[in-house]
Structure 1
């Protein structure tokens, strides 16, 4: 009679799955302690940011200016002082992906600050009349190389304010406003 295969028991599988986050978290750190680094890409302007934006929870002024410009309303080249909480949301997203994949990812920025004129033009596409993009408190993003399900799960985990899921367009909206959730299929 052949030997019984050494199939893992349910308990072994569950124990192994539970250990995965700790294994990934043990991957070597890329940033120095206290640093917050972002790797961002704006496909509308073909501009990038790959730098430290905060050290010991203090926003670096030069990085803040560069991020404000990267997240500008590219339709009219107008920038505003973005809420630093938006950068922290982007960083938290990047950290979750880094833990899950053991590599740094690039976040695509689809929309940051919007002028009232641009926001009005985007209303037929789903832009809210009183969008937090108008106040520099929101960002629409995707992550290169990952689908919407992965993106939505990570966004849900870091969202402290608004979370919008735009399934057909393959991006999420994160903002620093009141906690709420919505989704659009277009």
Structure 2
């Protein structure tokens, strides 16, 4: 699903070619809330997985509409890599991720550490760590754990918090930030 999207004259191929101009549509820090409410013309997501070796770089929203095929590819990319189980990812979380990335003003893709987790994976992780919630939003496709080599956990968390759109957890010792589309809240150091 994440193979070459830029060959041929498909809609996604054309959108991929158009992605270079998407940078001009990126919001500034003060525009984050407007961006999440539809203030931008284009929304783009760039990630890679160290676990699967997969990469994704796509426009998933244009002029007020989500692109179904792109959203399906995001759901596949964010699947539970341990079991290959997948569910649709809540697009509010994807929007928070994209807005946070734009606020950080980086071209580097996120490293996705965890997206969707099936209940069995969540239970296994919970047995190994106190930091895993019993009813984690990961199991609903509403959360992601992310890392950027060029930005600190605090920088990423501040940008995510500026969106005023969900939960933000700082995991400094493990060098990642958790974002979700649940209640607005924050934790960690």
After TM superposition, the score normalised by the length of structure 1 is 0.76
On the 8 A contact 2:22/2:42 being kept in 1, the answer is no
Structure with larger RCO (C-alpha < 8 A, sep 6+): 2
Unpaired segments ≥5 residues, structure 2: 1-20, 26-39
Residue 131 in structure 1 maps to residue 131 in structure 2:
no
The one-character-per-residue Cα deviations of 1:107-166 (angstroms, maximum 9, x if unpaired) are: 111111000000001113221000010100111111132222322222222251111111
1:70 aligns with 2:51: no
| Cα contact 1:159–1:174 (8 A) shared by 2 | no
Alpha carbons of 1:30 and 1:181: their partners in 2 closer, same or farther (altered >3 Å)? closer
Q: What is the Cα deviation at residue 171 of structure 1?
A: 0.6
Alignment check: 8 A CA contact 2:157 2:168 kept: no
Question: Residue by residue, what CA displacement relative to the aligned partner does 1:72-125 show, whole Å, maximum 9, x if unpaired?
Answer: 000000110110111101110111012xxxx52311111110000000011132
2:94 paired with 1:87: yes
- Quote the offset at 1:31 in angstroms: 5.2
SS in structure 1 of the partner of residue 103 of structure 2: helix
Q: In the TM superposition, what are the counterparts of 1:1-186 in structure 2 within 5 Å?
A: 30=23, 34-98=41-105, 103-123=106-126, 124-125=128-129, 126-183=131-188
CA contact (8 A) 1:72 1:113 kept: yes
Secondary structure of 1:76's counterpart equals: coil
Q: Paired residues, what number?
A: 153
Secondary structure of 1:94 counterpart: helix
RMSD between superposed Cα atoms in Å: 1.8
- 1:161–1:45 CA distance, 2 compared to 1 (3 A): same
How many angstroms apart in 1 are the aligned matches of 2:43 and 2:22? Answer: 12
Structure 1 or 2, whichever has the larger Rg, is: 1
Q: Are residues 48 and 31 of structure 1, via their aligned partners in 2, closer, same or farther at CA, if it must alter by over 3 Å?
A: farther
